[in-house]
């Protein structure tokens, strides 16, 4: 086993400890809040766009299935 493999194994063991996991959650929570807050408008616009597309596709399929729109 090389030094690199030993180092990676030790790092994984340290990260898998419960106390380290809790500290990492505490450390990254503010960063994730800022990240989600900054992407929130884009996520809302994406949901609005997808909802509109879904409704338009449903209307289109309705007209294709049940007849001509000019009758």
Residue 71 has pLDDT above 60, yes or no: no
Quote the pLDDT of residue 69.
Answer: 58
Q: How do residues 13-60 score in pLDDT, each as one tens digit?
A: 999 999 999 999 999 999 999 988 999 999 999 999 999 999 999 999
Does the model's pTM come out above 0.85?
no
Quote the pLDDT of residue 1.
Answer: 80
Give the residue carrying structure tokens 């989600």.
Answer: 36
14 Cβ neighbours under 8 A, 6+ residues apart: 20
């Amino acid at each position: 086993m090389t030094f690199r493999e030993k180092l990676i194994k030790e790092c994984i063991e340290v990260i898998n400890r419960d106390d380290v996991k809790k500290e990492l959650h505490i450390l990254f929570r503010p960063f994730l809040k800022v990240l989600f807050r900054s992407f929130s408008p884009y996520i809302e616009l994406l949901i609005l766009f997808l909802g509109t597309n879904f409704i338009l596709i449903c209307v289109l399929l309705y007209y294709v299935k049940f007849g001509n729109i000019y009758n």
